[in-house]
Amino acid sequence: MTFKYSDGLMKRINYPFLSNLEEKISEILKSKDKVIISVVGPRGTGKSYFGKYLRSNGCGRFNRKMVAVIDDSVMWTDFLFFFRRKLRVPDKGIDEFNKLLHELPKKKKIIFYINNTPWTRLSEADILLKLYTDEYIRTERLRQRYGHQTEKIEKGLNSRHFADYKIKYSFLMEEKI
């Protein structure tokens, strides 16, 4: 089984929980200007691929121009209509992304932070989205990522799964992808 994705396949992938996520986002946007969603899960779950999907497709009725995705301390942003550029998000400890949030265009209402240790940057999020997948799928993804580097595969499989992600949140969603 292989898990390489083409851009065409990415547009056809359907995350069934997006409608529930969209409802929660709408609810939060009634009382706040921006929504922060922390996306967590074990290595090989598909967090980064989910982030790539969001950057390309948006989140339900919230188009991609309304969505910002921070993954591995990097955020891709649009400029000059159809160009994209990569912005490094400096690691400054728990800073709640205050400076970054003020510099984002007003149209960016939904910020996804993809990181397995969100407490290193945030003390709270509006939504904590815990992603998980079947272990055989996760194993195959890690094998694809690391090739024949069995040490890295084992490290990924044995990486800590946190029961408590040490941040406050208003909504918790646990979703299988």
Along the 177 residues of the chain, how does pLDDT read in single tens digits? 334 444 544 555 779 999 999 999 999 999 999 999 999 999 889 999 999 999 989 998 999 999 999 998 788 766 655 666 677 777 777 888 888 888 888 899 999 999 988 998 899 999 999 999 999 998 999 999 888 888 888 888 887 666 678 899 999 999 998
91: three-class secondary structure by DSSP: coil
Q: Cβ(170)–Cβ(126) under 8 Å?
A: yes
Per-residue pLDDT, 103: 82
Give the CATH number, domain containing residue 99. Answer: 3.40.50
What DSSP assignment string belongs to 48-67? HHHHHHHHHH-BTTB-GGGE
Residue type for position 48: S
Q: Is position 124 within any domain?
A: yes
Q: Is position 71 within any domain?
A: yes
Q: Which domain holds residue 48?
A: 33-176
Q: Is position 10 within any domain?
A: no
Q: Is position 14 within any domain?
A: no
Sheet holding 83-88, edge to edge: 83-88, 74-79, 67-71, 110-114, 35-40, 124-132, 168-176
The token pair that represents 58 in the structure block: 């948006």
Question: Considering the entire predicted model, what is its pTM?
Answer: 0.86
Closest to 169 (Cα-Cα) out of 25, 42, 69, 38: 38
Q: Is position 126 within any domain?
A: yes
Per-residue pLDDT, 94: 82
Q: Give CA–CA dist 93/143, Å, rounded.
A: 32
Q: Is position 57 within any domain?
A: yes
Q: Cβ(99)–Cβ(1) under 8 Å?
A: no
Per-residue pLDDT, 37: 97
* Domain count for the chain: 1
Q: Is position 7 within any domain?
A: no
Per-residue pLDDT, 82: 61
Q: Is position 129 within any domain?
A: yes
